[in-house]
């Protein structure tokens, strides 16, 4: 019974290997959080990197860029997802758009960054700024977000649209009042998932949002003032860019401490986003399964 032996042996080998890889992954993730646990203190989070060991401004820049990026990319992604799922008749335009989304989503993020540098920073003249960074991140984020919105909208049965049309209501109305509300868990889980990627992205930002974080004044609400935290035309180094920069430019004890602490924040936030997205899509599946 040779082949039964082979079957048993291979099965155990596979189990062993999978166990090993999963253990390694867990050790890796655990290590990332464990190694910097002493670094994450209140002073570390609230000190400007210009005056001491801290990441206050980088953390704020990351969040600010994330919000701006989502504000910019959400309407465009939702619009094109609607165009491609609800309105789409298979014609050359929709086929091209689908192809564009695929190509854009597999484009290296450094290319997006270089394009942003050439187009936004130099040609349009925005300079290294929050705005350049947010637009570059929007380029980076759009294909991913659109793909998940398309999935979310496809999960809504087409009978909704047909019922609406038979009642003489416009497609637009059905869309706003029925289809999009029903797709909301899927849409939100797509947003949260892409938020995780945007939060940790660095290659698209080093030449758009810049590599410096001037000390910010969080009481200055005048968005045109150079040190106001809301000013969209100031350079804005993010957490991920900061980690890259301190490690490539001035390797030392401080660089090591800063990166270890910053990595804890980055990894925890990203894992949190992923966890939320997973919960949402599970909720969605259960809801659909119960129907």
Binding residues among 126-155 for another protein as defined by CB under 8 A? 139, 142-143, 146
If one asks whether residue 280 binds another protein (CB under 8 A), the answer comes out as: no
Given the complex with another protein, which of 202 and 229 has the nearer CB atom? Answer: 202
112 binds another protein (CB under 8 A): yes
Binding mask 245-274 for another protein (x = CB under 8 A): --xx-------x--x---x--xx--xx-xx
Per CB under 8 A, 18 contacts another protein: yes
The burial of 137, by beta-carbon neighbours within 10 Å (0-12 exposed, 13-18 middle, 19 or more buried), is given as buried
Nearer to another protein, 57 or 201 (CB): 201
State residue 217 phi and psi, 5-degree precision: -105, 110
* CA 153, 156, 160, 162 torsion-angle sign: positive
Nearest distance, CB of residue 14 and another protein, angstroms? 5
Distance CA(214)–CA(77), nearest Å, equals 32
Rounded least distance, CB 218 to another protein, Å: 25
Least distance in Å: CB of 61 to another protein? 15
Residue 141 vs 229, nearer CB to another protein: 141
**How many residues sit in the footprint of another protein (CB under 8 A)?**
87
Pair 67, 105: CB distance under 8 Å: no
Interaction between residue 7 and another protein (CB under 8 A): yes
Stretch that binds another protein, among 52-60, 112-120, 181-189, 283-291 (CB under 8 A): 112-120
Q: Please say which residue, 40 or 230, places its beta carbon nearer to another protein.
A: 40
Span of 151-159, 180-188, 212-220, 243-251 interacting with another protein by CB under 8 A: 243-251
Interatomic CA distance for residues 228 and 220, integer angstroms: 5
The C-alpha atoms of residue 204 and residue 286 are separated, in whole angstroms, by 37
Choose among 247, 187, 241, 194: nearest CA to 213: 241
Of the candidates 220, 202, 210, 198, the residue with the CA atom closest to the CA atom of residue 269: 198
The C-alpha atoms of residue 124 and residue 233 are separated, in whole angstroms, by 13
Which residues, numbered 185-204, are part of the site for another protein (CB under 8 A)?
196-197, 199-203
Q: What is the DSSP letter of 47?
A: S
Residue closer to another protein, measured from CB, 229 or 273: 273
Position 169 contacts another protein (CB under 8 A): yes
CA distances from 32 to 59, 165, 198, 243 (A): 18, 54, 19, 14
In angstroms, what is the minimal distance from the CB of 54 to another protein? Answer: 18
What distance in Å separates the CA atoms of residue 130 and residue 141, rounded to the nearest whole number? 16
What six digits make up the tokens of 192? 């949260």
Taking CB under 8 A as the criterion, which residues in 33-62 touch another protein? none
**Pick from 42, 51, 75, 219: which binds another protein (CB under 8 A)?**
75
Of residues 79-108, which lie at the interface with another protein (CB under 8 A)? 79-80, 82-84, 86-87, 93-94, 96-97, 100-104, 106-108
Residue 124 near another protein by CB under 8 A = no
Check binding of 208 to another protein (CB under 8 A): no
Which two tokens mark 143? 């294909």
Closest CA to 172 of 85, 81, 87, 89: 87
């Amino acid at each position: 019974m040779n082949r039964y032996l082979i079957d048993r042996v291979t099965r155990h080998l596979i189990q062993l290997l999978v166990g090993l890889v999963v253990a390694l992954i867990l050790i890796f993730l655990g290590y990332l959080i464990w190694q910097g646990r002493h670094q994450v203190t209140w002073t570390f989070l609230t000190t400007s990197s210009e005056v001491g060991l801290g990441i206050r401004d980088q953390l704020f820049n990351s969040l600010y860029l994330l919000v701006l990026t989502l504000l910019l990319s959400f309407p465009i992604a939702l619009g094109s997802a609607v165009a491609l799922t609800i309105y789409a008749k298979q014609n050359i335009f929709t086929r091209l758009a689908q192809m564009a989304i695929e190509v854009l989503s597999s484009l290296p993020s450094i290319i997006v960054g270089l394009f942003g540098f050439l187009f936004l920073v130099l040609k349009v003249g925005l300079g290294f700024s929050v705005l350049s960074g947010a637009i570059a991140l929007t380029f980076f984020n759009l294909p991913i977000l659109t793909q998940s919105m398309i999935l979310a909208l496809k999960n809504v049965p087409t009978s909704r649209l047909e019922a609406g049309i038979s009642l003489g209501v416009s497609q637009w109305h059905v869309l706003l009042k029925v289809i999009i509300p029903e797709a909301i868990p899927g849409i939100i889980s797509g947003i949260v998932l892409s938020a995780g990627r945007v939060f940790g992205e660095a290659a698209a930002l080093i030449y758009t949002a810049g590599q410096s974080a001037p000390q910010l004044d969080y009481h200055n609400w005048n968005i045109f003032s150079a040190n106001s935290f809301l000013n969209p035309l100031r350079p804005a180094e993010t957490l991920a860019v900061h980690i890259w920069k301190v490690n490539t430019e001035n390797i030392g004890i401080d660089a090591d401490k800063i990166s270890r602490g910053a990595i804890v924040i980055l990894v925890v936030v990203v894992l949190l986003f992923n966890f939320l997205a997973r919960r949402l899509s599970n909720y969605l599946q259960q809801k659909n399964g119960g129907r």
